[in-house]
Amino acid sequence: MKTKQLKKIVTTSLKIGVSALLFYFVATKISFSDVFNIIRESNVGLLVCSAVFLLISQWVSSIRLNTFFHALGYFLSHKSNHVLYFIGMFYNFFIPGGIGGDAYKIFKLNKQFDWKVKKLSAAVFIDRFSGLTAIGMLLVVLCIPFVQSLGWIKSNVLLYVLGFLLLALIPLISLIFVHKLFPSFKDVFFKTLGLSIIVQILQLISIGCLVVNFDVLSDLLSYLLVFLISVVLSIVSFAGIGVREFVFYQAADLLRYDKDISVAIGLLFTFITAVISLVGVGFQLKKYTLETSKNNV
């Protein structure tokens, strides 16, 4: 067995193991029957709104990835890019141990258009990195009022100065990183960062709909902050399963929130993500043929 294949199997196995372990931990701490009873009382309209905002966030995220492709001179049509993106979502969520969503995109584009694997891999990596930069910035924005409410820093002036410095430092470090290691993408840095911020805001609105659904609007800020933390930590699990529920549970335990509701929010977001990921199945079954555009429009 090749070293690369072995590494992939080990990594995937570890992620599935982390997901299973954390999910089991949460399952031993709460009553899932109570959680599902709470979920059954959900407002369908709010759940639909949550799904719509999450779907739009994935559409914007797809545009961001194609912006990186275009920066390389790889002009994949926007329609084909959206199709490829949703197929990748399906692979990421439903096929543990198989080819990942990002790897599928690279494989498909290389096979059909003979685009360089190294350049495609760089685009996919920077796409993820841009998203992480946006999350870091939004974490700072949400942490300021959260820390202020808890009184951890007595001086509001100091708190806002520290927040401003971090808010400026995060994109600056990201920009330097891109300029030094991935200069092909420096011209689209701010455009893609803007798209990344929009993606995360849309997902925060999606979570906000779930918070309103369970009538815990007074804790909205905390739930939004916890959600962003769970997104960052989801890299160590399979499709974020287990980690998201664990983080929401731990936050509820720390902040004295209703644990059943907190876990229910995490579970519902996971379920909605799974449903949206199923969109990729239709495109895969139709064997959609990818197309290029004549320019970067």
DSSP helix/strand/coil, 295? coil
Q: Which of 288, 296, 247 is nearest to 270 (CA)?
A: 247
Are 209 and 47 spatial neighbours (Cβ–Cβ below 8 Å)? yes
Beta bridge partners, 292, equal 76
The reply to whether 294 falls in a domain is no
The reply to whether 264 falls in a domain is yes
The reply to whether 26 falls in a domain is yes
Give the pLDDT of residue 297.
47
The reply to whether 292 falls in a domain is no
Number of domains forming the structure of the chain: 1
The reply to whether 191 falls in a domain is yes
Give the pLDDT of residue 2.
63
The reply to whether 297 falls in a domain is no
Which domain covers residue 14, as residue numbers? 3-286
Are 137 and 197 spatial neighbours (Cβ–Cβ below 8 Å)? yes
- C-alpha to C-alpha distance for 52 and 165, rounded to whole angstroms: 34
Name 30's Cβ contacts closer than 8 Å, sequence gap at least 6.
249, 259, 260, 263
Give the pair of three-digit tokens for residue 283.
């495109």
Give the pair of three-digit tokens for residue 252.
């509820």
- C-alpha to C-alpha distance for 92 and 86, rounded to whole angstroms: 10
Are 87 and 249 spatial neighbours (Cβ–Cβ below 8 Å)? no
DSSP helix/strand/coil, 76? strand
Confidence (pTM): 0.91
pLDDT in tens, 200-227: 999 999 999 999 999 999 899 999 999 9
The reply to whether 238 falls in a domain is yes
The reply to whether 140 falls in a domain is yes
Q: Could you say which residues of the chain have pLDDT below 50?
A: 1, 98, 297
pLDDT in tens, 137-179: 999 999 999 888 777 777 888 889 999 999 999 999 999 999 9
Q: Which of 41, 15, 17 is nearest to 260 (CA)?
A: 41
